[in-house]
Amino acid sequence: MPDPKELLRQLADAAIRAADPSVRVPPILPEPPKKAIVLGAGKASAAMARAIETAWPDTALKGVVVTRYGYEVACDRVEIVLAAHPVPDEAGREAARRILEMAENATQDDLVIALMSGGGSALLTAPAEGITFEEKQEVNRQLLRCGADIGEMNTLRKHVSAIKGGRLAAAAHPARVLSILISDVPGDDPAVIGSGPTVPDPTTFADATRVVEKYGLKLPASVMKHLETAASETPKPGDDIFDGNELIFAAKPDKSIAAAADVARNAGFTVVDLGDRVEGEARDVGREHAEMALACKAGNGKAAAPCVILSGGETTVTMTGNGRGGRNTEYLLGVAEKLDGADGIYAVACDTDGVDGSEDNAGAFVDPTTVARAAETGLSVSDALAGNDAYSLFENIGDLLVTGPTYTNVNDFRAVVVT
């Protein structure tokens, strides 16, 4: 039997490789056109642009793609702009302005290729009329702390934007738009990925206002006035601006889970696949998965040991403390708390983009010694949970998972190994 921690790393690596744009994009491309305009945003967008350049060496390409700092991939014909994530900066704002301008200048003879992946919502920032950039930043900050799921967050983002929620496609009309997506959202809804700038938006201003009310957000007065006025709705399904447009998925979370499952089975483990749509408060999901693992260890669970419990999706964290970390390390605190040193159970959780929250780690590991080793350094899982300070705990015991930029993003990957 392989070393459990080594197996966990192999599972995570397999999940990330399965979403590599250099592998996933070329096979789904149509026949190369004579010319095309490439526009995009997200953590995988630069790598996607490079994959198109490599696959279409003779095509006259131009365009602008915005990605997170550190996620640049050298391109020869498409300009790569770097900007901040998860809170937008001026570089992202200027990139969005230029992308919108290029779309507006496209003609009916042009093919516009829109490359969208996770992170696009923050990177592609063009405030709606009457809303300042600083106010848009504040909207993002509050959304990141309130515990809203990604669908709710992007419903609000779309309705305070001049480019999201189908508005980029509206700007490009009558040019034909081919959207190539790498999904980072549960259910793979194109209208949620990057806040759906090139696809119809089924949500409304009323939906956005309900998000504000549900989470008690205290947004700037101009933002609330914009939402309440609801003067300019996003383009809806059935709008003729989408006629002739196409959409292709280059990578999805379920394929990454399947790749990890193959690795687990080849190592002699039974696989329990919980799917790629797991949502909920991160610490609570962690506790639930630890309970499943304990049941498997006891012989009355979903599978007998040795087994691996796999899942994807996107949990949430409701911030009550001022610590450091992200939803994957918070999930692992929930796992560690529930296991409390139980023998023979190990776990990994990571964001496939290489960044958990806003730190330098993709995620972390848990093993039977996690709680005890933390105590030796003067830290406790319960205190870390109370302060939302998962990063500090795992950093102190040397169990952070650091991958560096992965140039892709198919959301979170989690594995619990029961030996």
Segment-wise mean pLDDT, segments of 10 residues, the chain, 419 residues: 93 98 97 97 98 98 97 97 94 97 97 96 95 96 92 96 98 98 94 97 98 97 97 96 97 98 98 96 98 97 97 94 95 98 98 93 98 97 97 98 97 97
Same domain as 87, residue 230: yes
Same domain as 278, residue 266: yes
For residue 161, the SS3 value is: strand
DSSP state of 135: H
Rg for the chain, CA atoms, rounded: 22
Q: Which of 251, 279, 306 is the last residue of a domain?
A: 251
Residue 31 contacts by C-beta under 8 Å, 6 or more apart in sequence?
none
Q: Which of 233, 251, 269 is the last residue of a domain?
A: 251
**In the chain, how many domains are there?**
2
Residue 363 within any structural domain of the chain: yes
- Helix H or strand E encompassing 82: strand 79-83
Same domain as 194, residue 164: yes
Write down the pLDDT at residue 357. 85
Same domain as 330, residue 198: no
CATH of the domain at 370: 3.40.1480.10
For 93, phi and psi rounded to 5 degrees?
Answer: -60, -45
Residue 259 within any structural domain of the chain: yes
DSSP state of 259: H
Same domain as 138, residue 198: yes
Residue 145 within any structural domain of the chain: yes
Q: What tokens appear for 414 in the block?
A: 């989690």
Same domain as 247, residue 221: yes
Residue 149 contacts by C-beta under 8 Å, 6 or more apart in sequence?
279, 314, 316
Residue 262 within any structural domain of the chain: yes
The reply to whether the predicted model has a pTM over 0.85 is: yes
Interior CA angle at 180 toward 179 and 184, to 5°?
A: 115
Write down the pLDDT at residue 358. 81
Residue 231 contacts by C-beta under 8 Å, 6 or more apart in sequence?
none
Residue 19 within any structural domain of the chain: no
Same domain as 161, residue 111: yes
Cα separation, 184 vs 118, whole angstroms: 5
Cα separation, 316 vs 65, whole angstroms: 28
Residue 26 within any structural domain of the chain: no
Residue 353 within any structural domain of the chain: yes
CATH of the domain at 36: 3.40.50.10180
Cα separation, 211 vs 267, whole angstroms: 45
CA distances from 79 to 38, 39, 203 (A): 9, 9, 32
Pairing of strands 363-366, 246-251: unpaired
Same domain as 94, residue 128: yes
> Domain range spanning residue 74?
31-251
Contact 387, 354 (CB under 8 A): no
Q: Which of 251, 272, 292 is the last residue of a domain?
A: 251
Q: Is 156 exposed, middle or buried (0-12, 13-18, 19+ CB in 10 A)?
A: buried
Same domain as 59, residue 116: yes
Same domain as 295, residue 379: yes
Same domain as 258, residue 240: no
Helices (H), 340-417: 370-376, 381-386, 390-396
Closest of 371, 194, 212 to residue 290, by C-alpha? 371
Closest of 226, 221, 190, 219 to residue 205, by C-alpha? 226
Cα separation, 49 vs 117, whole angstroms: 12
Residue 221 within any structural domain of the chain: yes
Contact 206, 230 (CB under 8 A): yes
Same domain as 309, residue 202: no
